[in-house]
Amino acid sequence: MVKRHLRVGAYAVCVEDGKILLARWAGGEGKQWTLPGGGLQHGEDPYDAAVREVEEETGYTVEIERLLGIDTLHQRHPRWLTHDADFHGVRIVYAARVTGGELRHEVNGSTDLAAWIELDRMADLDRSRLVDTALALDAERPPHGRVIPPR
C-alpha cells in the first residue's frame, strides 16, 4: 500500500556578513541543518508562513525581501511496517532579513538548534538539499525561480 502526501512549505534565506541562518531539523531519520521554515497551516499565505516559521524556529522576526523561487522534492520511502510513503514537497523560498528578536532554539518543535553558520563551512555541514538550492536561488536569481540541482 502507498500513501501519498503533499506538503507545501515556506522558507527564508537570511544571509548576513558571510553567514546563513539555519535551523537543525531533528527528525526520525537523524539531525540535519536546513532553512528556517515549514509547512503552511490551512488557509495561511506562504509569505506569512515563512515569517511565522522563522520566529518559531530561531526567535527572530524577519522582513521578506523577495520571492526567490520554488523547489520540489518527490521521494518514495518505506513508512513503518505497513506501507510506503509517496512524498511530494513543494518549498517556496524567500529572501529575508532579520529585523528584530534574539537568537534562540525552538522548544518542542521540529528543530532543536538555530545558528548563524559561515557560508565557507557549507561543504562540511550535514545539511538538507534545500539549503544548497536556496543559496543557488539567492546567488543566481533565475527569472523562472528554479534551479536544477546536480544529480
Query: What are the residue boundaries of the structural domains of the chain, listed by start?
Result: 2-140
Render the burial of 87-99: b for 16+ CB within 10 Å, e for the rest. bebbbbbbbbebe
Residue type, 149: P
Q: Which residues pair with 74 in a beta bridge?
A: 88
In 1-151, alpha helices (H) = 46-58, 129-140
Q: Which residues pair with 149 in a beta bridge?
A: none
Please determine, looking at this structure, whether the domain spanning 2-140 carries the CATH number 3.60.15.10.
no
Burial class (CB in 10 A: 0-12, 13-18, 19+), 126: exposed
Q: What is the pTM of this model?
A: 0.89
Average pLDDT, the chain: 91
pLDDT digits (tens, 9 = 90+) for 12-52: 999 999 999 999 998 766 799 999 999 999 999 999 999 99
Which of the two residues, 35 and 77, has the higher pLDDT score? 35
